Amino acid sequence: MGEYLLACDEGTSSARSVLFDRDGNVASSAQLELQSAFPNDGWVEQDANATWEAQHSSIDHALERFGVSPSALHAVGITNQRETTIVWDRTTGEPIGPAITWQCRRTASRCDALKAANDTAWISGRTGLKVDPYFSATKIRWMLDNDPALQRRANDGELAFGTVDSWLVFKLTAGSVHAIDRTNASRTLLMDLRHGIWDDELLAFFDIPKAMMPTIVPSCGILGITAGEVLGVEVPIAGIAGDQQAALVGQGCFTPNAAKLTYGTGAFLLVHTGSEPRTSNAGLLSTTAASLTNGAEFALEGSVFSAGSTIQWLRDNLGVLSSAAESEAMATSVPDSAGVFLVPAFEGLGAPHWDAKARGAIVGLTRAADRSHLVRAALESMALQTFDLIDALEADTGERISELRVDGGAAMNDFLLQFQADVLDRPVVRPKNLESTVRGAAHLAAVATDFWSELTYEVNQRFEPNMTVSEREAKLSGWRDALRAVL
């Protein structure tokens, strides 16, 4: 029985490792940046070996920084960027190529062709998703299409598919466990959402051999033991959830209509819907929520592909910011965005618009606009996209979300949260602990191994709406015009 629980968070922009004590406090953490490659228009890749090495190093750093040895560990929880697809050789553990990340749109034309040739409504009914390049299925197919020998090896069970959780579990167990948790599996376009099993008809439709698929395991429960030669200790891996589902747990959203929004690279809204999957008519996805009791729980989800990444783009590509944090001071240095709207459709638009081919635009420029207005418009675009999601969701469920709990890297930005509360016309709540994702992963592993049973939720700041109706209407109408220009 070690004294610390290790939560691994393999995100899009970083690999983090966090040690929690039995009171749920963070004892130590370490983080390493991850690189993405953009080899083609709309393509996004990562080096799977590099992501594992970054995760492994961050575990070592978190332990070293706190001066404890691996034997102090009690259990491991995992959370990860979802949908990102890795295929590797089961024997050597070597990936067959770069990981195709969730942001990658390379299979957009394949998805269009599938939709043109088939009625795909049954796929949405079965998976809660839609045929879109975002999900893993067409990414796997793309990898196998590249080389006929790979198809044969996949059929023969020589190749393994996994999302990032599967990859970390495979590495942490020195290749002895090939698993995926139910929340991650629900993002592949290959799982029967209601029953939590691989669907043979979906596998056949996407032409993906079952022999390469991992075992679907519950989000809360022991699924494997870390290998001594990898981590220096043999401890249970006891909880996994995809990043958004982990954040739903970490934000304490366990009952119907409880909602959280994570502003990271993308922005993700999840609303718990209880023990029944709900279908959406407004372009939201139906997905699995991580269950603490191994029951079936569900959520509705809307995703914005480019949120914090728009700030990164302003920093790295345009050089108008020296850091993401600087965006707040720049945005508040001007009274408004001077009529500028930025539609960050770098990788197409997700819910509720679902246009894989849309590309970004800056509209409303006059000679009065400067970089502060552009930065302000970028932050506003994060909140306006969120408004569209919530608007669509409420149209679907006919129920009002009373408040929005927020987290993720950009939730540090007070300007963003106030503007979010203003356009939504309801409170936005920031918890004291912004690490909802990693806390959610830790909570799943902690519950499964009796490390702790309760998760405390403390508020850091509540942002109350403070915008006149006419101001709000003008903002929303300008945004709708800008969207029309790119759709």
Distance CA 345, CA 69 (A): 45
Single-letter amino acid code for the residue at 362:
I
Tell me which residue has its CB nearest to ligand ADP. 409
Asked if residue 325 binds ligand ADP (CB under 6 A), the reply is yes
- Judged by beta carbon, residue 137 or residue 247, the one nearer ligand ADP is 247
- Judged by beta carbon, residue 126 or residue 260, the one nearer ligand ADP is 260
Which residues partner with 404 through β-bridges? 428
* Residue 183, phi-psi category: left (phi > 0), alpha (psi -120 to 50), beta (remainder): alpha
CB 9 within 8 A of CB 261: no
Asked if residue 103 binds ligand ADP (CB under 6 A), the reply is no
Q: Name the token pair of 3.
A: 């004294």
Sign of the CA dihedral running 398, 188, 486, 115: negative
Residue choice 163, 226, 327, 386 for contact with ligand ADP (CB under 6 A): 327
- Judged by beta carbon, residue 80 or residue 226, the one nearer ligand ADP is 80
Compute how many residues bind ligand ADP; rule: CB under 6 A. 19
Stretch that binds ligand ADP, among 11-19, 44-52, 68-76, 92-100 (CB under 6 A): 11-19
Least CB distance to ligand ADP at residue 256 (A): 26
Q: Which of residues 304-323 bind ligand ADP (CB under 6 A)?
A: 308-309, 311-312
Residue 251 Cα to chain centre, angstroms: 15
Asked if residue 242 binds ligand ADP (CB under 6 A), the reply is no
Distance CA 232, CA 380 (A): 46
- Judged by beta carbon, residue 227 or residue 324, the one nearer ligand ADP is 324
**What backbone phi and psi angles, to 5 degrees, belong to 466?**
-155, 65
Element (H, E) at 242: strand 236-242
Least CB distance to ligand ADP at residue 171 (A): 20
Least CB distance to ligand ADP at residue 228 (A): 30
Asked if residue 14 binds ligand ADP (CB under 6 A), the reply is yes
Exposure string of 26-38, with b = 16+ CB inside 10 Å and e = fewer, is bbbbbbbebebee
Distance CA 411, CA 389 (A): 17
Q: Which of residues 401-440 bind ligand ADP (CB under 6 A)?
A: 408-410, 412-413
Asked if residue 448 binds ligand ADP (CB under 6 A), the reply is no
Binding site for ligand ADP (CB under 6 A): 11-14, 264-265, 308-309, 311-312, 324-325, 327-328, 408-410, 412-413
